[in-house]
Amino acid sequence: MIWGSYRPPSAVMQWSEKDLFAVELFEPPSEEPVMQRPRLPGGIVPLPGEALASWLLRYAEPFGIAPDDLLLRNSDVQLAGRGDWCRRPHPHLIERLATATAVDPPRITEMTFGAEAVDEALDDQRERFSAQRFRAPTTISRRQRRMAVCVHCLADDAMPYVRRDWTAGWATVCVDHKTVLTGDCPECGYKLRMPALSSRDYFAPDRCPRCSFRLATASPREAHPAAVALHRKLIEARESGVFDLPGQGAITWPVAMALFDVLLGTVWINTGLVVRRRLAARIGRDFGHGVLGPEPTGSYDGLLILAWILDGWPDRVRVAIAILQAPRPRRQVERWRDLNDETRQKLLDLLLAIWPDQKPGDDRGWWRAWIENLPETGDELRARAAVDRFPHRRMRLLALADVRDGMPVELAAEAAGIIPRTLYIWLRRGAKGGLDAALDRQRGALNQAQAVEIAQWIAEAPTNQPRWRTNRVQNEVFRRYRLEISKDVAQNLLRKHGPWVRRRVGAPHRWSQPHD
């Protein structure tokens, strides 16, 4: 023990013996590497098929420290990055975990999905086959920690843990118990999530984090044998990198997932409820009544639809497109703009062999020469739309700008929120009368004979059905006379000639008697 002192920064200031404090010297740390790894505490060994995040949370639980703080150093934070790094950890992080936990690196790698960056978008997006993913896609980071569990597996576990296969975005079925994975709490509806590796919360995968409901006591939905068989093929294809397509042979894993996106996009994107119910009824006739609900939107429903299509490939692809009244395969592939050229070409080779493109007539697309030779470029049309004061002109300028840049009419109409027929009308008007003719609203007035005919058609409307809307009258007028009428005109026709009884609003109830 020696004594040291604190010297103030200013030499003028005086110090006394009270400023002395004790200092204890230690031997410098040895530079020789430790030959033996620290022994793993008993009972914290990786379980069969366990996910890396589940094992790390169980490992750090006895210490009361978050896994990131317990096992990683400050220099490893940059390699870990943001989000759920344990799905595809860097090789240096695997070595760091192996050194800290005395578990071999190959065993740790088995609990992950590998380090291939190409698979991140294929496996990490939760509920990949659900309708919500196609209609309102969200970023991957918000759904990384979402998970679904098999309640029977949790009930059989002596120590509940999360399997690696459950954390894949396309995982919907437990192949061992042939049940649908549970992603929501049956008691409170909370969406199950894997705790963050920076959290110190108690890890209990068999309990709901919100209401503490025991998930092992829930009654899961039984999976259809076709869905179980397809899910087993997906697991095998994920490990081998090759998926066996019926009648076509082996295709790579990225091409298979892109094909599933195109097929389910045909079902979920821009299709009406009536046609989707017809498809569900057709699948019910083939797979059994009640396998799909009246409005199937879940990830398991998407998996079952894929199983039905692949079970009768390629005939059922044609049946599905015909029932849904969907665009042809080439238009379906063009929706996915993030595909690389090689994958896009393989999808076209597969789908065009089933349903080739329709040969257009000689007079089809006669307006294309006008839009391609338009003096204004796509950027100039968008700049003009930015300063235009009328909303309908802005919308038309943006749609025409997309077509001017080479976008297909169907995709440009979808981006503008209109049907392709409307955009074709604008293009034909522009080819006949110029750009101003395509931008201006051309409202046609019904003559006397046409007005009488439409009034008679409205008067014969069935009264035991919901009231007709203005869009129905507008579409009927356009179908018969190729004229566009406004919503106000259609509404006046419905009020004047409709057979529906108008509801009368009575006088307000008087709560007090009038004074004499």
Q: Beta strands of 184-278 (E only): which ranges?
A: 242-245, 249-252
How do residues 19-39 score in pLDDT, each as one tens digit? 555 555 555 555 545 444 454
**Mean pLDDT value across residues 138-156:** 74
Categorize the per-residue pLDDT at 242 as very low, low, confident or very high, splitting at 50, 70 and 90: very high
34 or 427, greater pLDDT: 427
Does residue 502 lie in a domain region?
A: no
Categorize the per-residue pLDDT at 199 as very low, low, confident or very high, splitting at 50, 70 and 90: confident
Burial profile 490-507: b = 16 or more Cβ within 10 angstroms, e = fewer: beebbeebbeeeeeeeee
Does residue 348 lie in a domain region?
A: yes
**Mean pLDDT value across residues 303-318:** 92
Categorize the per-residue pLDDT at 330 as very low, low, confident or very high, splitting at 50, 70 and 90: confident
Does residue 507 lie in a domain region?
A: no
Nearest to 126 by CA among 84, 170, 163: 170
Give CA–CA dist 3/245, Å, rounded: 80
- 207 and 85 share a domain? yes
- 229 and 206 share a domain? no
Does residue 516 lie in a domain region?
A: no
- 193 and 285 share a domain? no
Does residue 509 lie in a domain region?
A: no
Helical (H) or strand (E) element with 5: strand 2-5
**Mean pLDDT value across residues 315-330:** 88
Domain with 149 in it: 48-221
**How confident is the model at residue 512, as a pLDDT?**
53
15 or 490, greater pLDDT: 490
- 151 and 284 share a domain? no
Distances (CA, A) of 327 to 265, 270, 513: 11, 10, 66
- 70 and 161 share a domain? yes
Does residue 478 lie in a domain region?
A: yes
**How confident is the model at residue 210, as a pLDDT?**
87
Residue 2 predicted with pLDDT over 50: no
Residue 309 predicted with pLDDT over 90: yes
**How confident is the model at residue 77, as a pLDDT?**
66
- 67 and 157 share a domain? yes
Least confident segment among 276-280, 415-419, 470-474, 498-502: 498-502
- 467 and 415 share a domain? no
Mark which of 321, 352, 383 sits at the end of a domain: 352
Residue 326 predicted with pLDDT over 90: no
Nearest to 216 by CA among 154, 149, 147, 158: 154
- 153 and 65 share a domain? yes
Categorize the per-residue pLDDT at 234 as very low, low, confident or very high, splitting at 50, 70 and 90: very high
- Give the tokens for residue 334: 């063009």
Residue 440 falls in which region: left (phi positive, over 0), alpha (psi -120 to 50) or beta: beta
**Mean pLDDT value across residues 193-203:** 82
Residue 61 predicted with pLDDT over 70: yes
Mark which of 352, 383, 414 sits at the end of a domain: 352
Could you tell me if 198 and 166 are in contact, meaning their C-beta atoms sit under 8 angstroms apart? no
Q: Which among 62-71, 354-363, 371-380, 498-507 has the top mean pLDDT?
A: 371-380
Residue 372 predicted with pLDDT over 60: yes
**How confident is the model at residue 19, as a pLDDT?**
54
Task: Kindly state the percentage of the chain with pLDDT values over 90.
Answer: 22
Could you tell me if 150 and 195 are in contact, meaning their C-beta atoms sit under 8 angstroms apart? no
Mark which of 221, 248, 266 sits at the end of a domain: 221
Residue 340 predicted with pLDDT over 70: yes
Does residue 39 lie in a domain region?
A: no
- 78 and 217 share a domain? yes
Residue 122 predicted with pLDDT over 70: no
Categorize the per-residue pLDDT at 79 as very low, low, confident or very high, splitting at 50, 70 and 90: low
**Mean pLDDT value across residues 263-276:** 89
- 251 and 317 share a domain? yes
Least confident segment among 121-125, 232-236, 270-274: 121-125
**How confident is the model at residue 259, as a pLDDT?**
94
Query: How many structural domains does the chain have?
Result: 4
Task: Kindly state the percentage of the chain with pLDDT values over 70.
Answer: 80
Nearest to 168 by CA among 155, 158, 181, 157: 181
**Mean pLDDT value across residues 193-211:** 85
Q: How confident is the prediction for the chain on average, in pLDDT?
A: 81
- 287 and 231 share a domain? yes
- 61 and 185 share a domain? yes
Nearest to 123 by CA among 93, 72, 167, 81: 167
Does residue 4 lie in a domain region?
A: no
**How confident is the model at residue 96, as a pLDDT?**
84
